[in-house]
Structure 1
Amino acid sequence: MPEAIIETTGLTKSFKGFRAVNDISLQVLPGTIHAMIGANGAGKTTCFNLLTKFLRPTSGRILFKGRDITSLKSDQIARLGLVRSFQISAVFGRLTALENVKLALQRQRGESYDFWASHRRLDHQRQRAEQLLDDVGLSDAIDTPAAELPYGRKRALELATTLALDPQVMLLDEPLAGMGTEDVSRTADLIRRVAAGRTVLMVEHNLGVVAELCDRITVLARGEVLVEGDYATVSNDPRVIESYIGGATHG
């Protein structure tokens, strides 16, 4: 088995005595799509915020490619190659799709917007931005203001801005939330395409998409890992059926 690209040991987060996440050990393998699922209050969001450094753990360690990143900040891990979608996905409504991606490309280089850059650099930047938009199916919306894009296509633009940072690991927090059936199918296909050559860790409630997309699934319950494995293993575990799938099925 290859070495984990993200690994946690004993990851714990307490809020005034309440343990939202308790002693989580997680391994995300390179080149996989890994889902984190669980009922409301299971600790998914807290765990995700710990991994992406929006929260500091009470105890435990987080490793990226064998390096301890527990004490690093979110911008530091982004530069290492761990990019959480919403960190750069708040698109600018008045800017076109192309301008949004070009701004993200500027952030990837750690510079301000290049108003006076050479024609060669600007041409290369435009070509890269156009390619990213094509990758997410927005080649026909280059000059469309982001505010005018339908919800599903706006989420595709957010993925394009995430990809502009050339991440090794994409951390997607409920990327299909609020989407209709057609947008869910289109965005799931998009995630599969952009995951090629990358690692994806996602929090997601749509079990149909998880079953179709994900290589490995971690189920959380009451802040702890309930079970981990492929979809067949997870979906047939009696504890999962009782605490999550059964609850979702029976309301």
Structure 2
Amino acid sequence: MRSAPRCNAPARFPFREPAVWVDPSAGNRCNPFPYRSVCIYLGRWGQLTEGLTIRDLQDRAKATREAILAGAASIFEELGYGRASLSQVAVRAGVTKGALYFHFPSKEELARAVIAEQHAFITADNTAVLERGLPPLESMILICRRFAGNLLAEPIVRAGIRLTLEASSFDQDVRQPYSDWVALMSGLASQAQRRGQLRDGLDPAGFGQFIVSSLTGVQIVSAVLTERADLLERVEDMWTILLPGVVTAGLKSQVPALARYSGAPLGQHS
């Protein structure tokens, strides 16, 4: 295996990258990928550390990025996009401004990364529900219930949802999470109708969008009035009110159980 070149670089660099590789024969930075060992590393205070591998640097970069996203989620949730600053995020994350700017050159890029993380988290959770093979109506109800639970438990979810509600603050479109959510609910509503859970004549696309809109409103009002302390109860109330008007006659007696559905079998249709 080819060894890494010796380092002949000065103790400090005018670069903001966290890692710099030097090829003595070329007298400049070079592509690090041919070498397993790393010649030098630009650390927190600009000092050089020898003996690190590329995997070490990758792990450090990943940990730094995760810390920044966690700090950003905390700040964006607390202050919103307009009042938040990258300096506040750096302090909350415990990283330097240089490290933050290396990963996220602007506040908007950082905010969009938080939204993307939130969307990936919720998408994975929704997929886990779908993979259980539940009837479509139960899947819709459980997805809403788990979303409410994730809002209570996960800062990245709370921050991402708050940021998407501030979509007008961004130059680029950040509506994709809501578009995907509406498409998911509309698709499940269509399946539920074909399966005989939802009444004929109901527009599945309209119902899917209405569910997303209703849940969004429920969580906002819960956040304002009780800091979401009653969110799970309010989501159950939402379904208790909606279901009698949309389910088929054979399911009307099961509305109370459906409204508080948390994953257990409900009956023959399940």
Determine if the TM-score, normalized by the shorter chain, exceeds 0.5: no
Q: Higher helix fraction: Structure 1 or Structure 2?
A: 2
Q: Which has the higher contact order (CA 8 A, sep 6+)?
A: 1
TM-score (norm 2): 0.23
TM-score (norm 1): 0.24
Larger radius of gyration: 2
